[in-house]
Amino acid sequence: MAEVLLGFGGNLGDPTAAIETALQRLKAEGVRITACSPFYSTPAWGKTDQPDFVNLCAAGETALMPRALLEAIQRIEAELGRERRERWGPRVIDIDILAYDDRVIDEPGLTIPHPHLTERPFVLVPLLDIAPDWIIAGRSVREWAAEVDGNRVGRINP
């Protein structure tokens, strides 16, 4: 079994419900969720002229290989109404593979660890709740999180 870290977000419709549904569907796809952060409200990143996002991170275990995990995630996103229209644009749901064991993968359409993970407060702050000591690119989540401004990332109670 591989240990994985996953990031979830959305800012259209009811993102909290979409994330909860995605977590349930991942279980059906062979991903055992072992920990979830609280939900967070975060400003959009990259393309900022859109509603704030709801984000959550989860840790899990799976026997799926990285590409098969990505395919399962993309099926779930499509089932929940995700349309890929513009990079960093509004979306019903987004699920990212943040880390897969300690593997480094750089293939067309699949990069692990996630290439912007260490720059994103909306990922690092929730990861602090579930995996502060996970090592990514030679440093712990705690160390990476200390370098980003997490002041605009706030816990919410859905």
Handedness of CA 26, 88, 3, 111 (dihedral sign): positive
Within 63-124, strands assigned E span: 94-100, 105-107, 110-112
pLDDT of amino acid 45? 72
Cα separation, 7 vs 93, in Å, equals 10
Q: Count the neighbouring beta carbons within 10 Å of the beta carbon of residue 90.
A: 17
Q: Give the CATH architecture of domain 2-156.
A: 2-Layer Sandwich (3.30)
Check whether 124 has a pLDDT greater than 80: yes
Over residues 16-39, the mean pLDDT reads 96
The confidence band for 157, taking pLDDT boundaries of 50, 70 and 90, is: low
Catalytic residues: 82, 91, 94, 96
Report the pLDDT averaged over residues 127-151.
91
Q: How confident is the model at residue 89 (pLDDT cuts 50, 70, 90)?
A: low
CA distances from 144 to 49, 70, 136 (A): 26, 25, 9
How far is residue 121's CA from residue 90's CA, in Å, rounded to a whole number?
18
**Out of 31-45, 98-112, 143-157, least confident range:** 143-157
Partners of 40 in beta bridges: 55, 155
Stronger pLDDT, 40 or 84, i.e. the higher one: 40
On the question of pLDDT at 75 being above 80, the answer is yes
Residue whose tokens read 């987004």: 94
* pLDDT of residue 2 exceeding 80: yes
Domain ranges of the chain: 2-156
**Average pLDDT value for the chain:** 90
